[in-house]
Structure 1
């Protein structure tokens, strides 16, 4: 009775498509993947990571949220600490990636506003120099 409805009309069931074994999409070129991995320099990439914008804040936020979630799960469950550690680590990863992406999104928005002329471009060097000039002028006026 397979392939036939159980109602009285005895209509055949629609055919289930068989999975496609040969994916029509082209496979990634193995040479490109290998060359991409060869460009990685772990010692240089990980030592300069803290100089990247948003990294420190993202890791601090992720660590705080991961620790909080892990502790709440451990206190609530009372038993399996491995599960609490998994929850904590998962929260750390999600929060770190989320805050890093949001921070870079805000940077991209600021750059777009500056390039369109809607936001003035202010260099921190100019601001620091102006503050120094003001401080020097104030000292000269007091003397």
Structure 2
């Protein structure tokens, strides 16, 4: 298949190769993508999101940061779409950042526990343990 050439004094245009009919690469599997989307259940997924570690703290930190950045941008350049965009961007970045940092700390604690070292226990945990022991001792005495 040669290209159209209106000038006979020029060289003919090179042939354009047709796509390979028997492409050795496998075609992308659309069934996998469809089945992945079928497993999503928004009501179940969003209702259990707050039970995962770090979720509440991440969303609260993100909301506070987004609100603060949005208000500062609105005070500086006036209310409008730009302030909302800045606020939403700050919300997303702060939420993802605090989520990742919290999960990083959890991974560190798990690595410490797996290596045989005990993680640092806060005094609040010790006070709660003492309180539980005291309550248990009173219940045994009664």
TM-score band w.r.t. shorter chain: 0.5 to 0.7
- The normalised TM-score by structure 1 is 0.67
**1:4-56: per-residue Cα shift (whole Å, max 9, x none)?**
xxxxxxxxxxxxxxxxxxxxx87642221111111111111111111111000
The alignment of Structure 1 onto Structure 2 pairs a total of residues equal to: 116
Structure 2 matches for 1:4-15, cutoff 5 A? none
Distance 1:116 1:27 in 2: 45
**1:64-106: per-residue Cα shift (whole Å, max 9, x none)?**
000000000010112x511000000000011001111111111
Q: What residue in structure 1 maps to residue 83 of structure 2?
A: 84
Structure 2 matches for 1:91-130, cutoff 5 A? 91-119=90-118
> Tell me, which stretches of 5 or more residues in structure 1 are unaligned?
1-24
Structure 2 matches for 1:1-143, cutoff 5 A? 28-78=28-78, 80-119=79-118, 131-137=131-137
RMSD in angstroms over aligned alpha carbons? 3.4
Q: Runs of 4+ in structure 1 displaced over 2 angstroms?
A: 25-29, 127-141
Deviation at 1:118, TM superposition (A): 1.5
- Pair 1:118–1:26, CA change in 2 (3 A): farther
Distance 1:90 1:132 in 2: 44
> Tell me, which stretches of 5 or more residues in structure 2 are unaligned?
1-24, 122-126
- Pair 1:28–1:57, CA change in 2 (3 A): farther
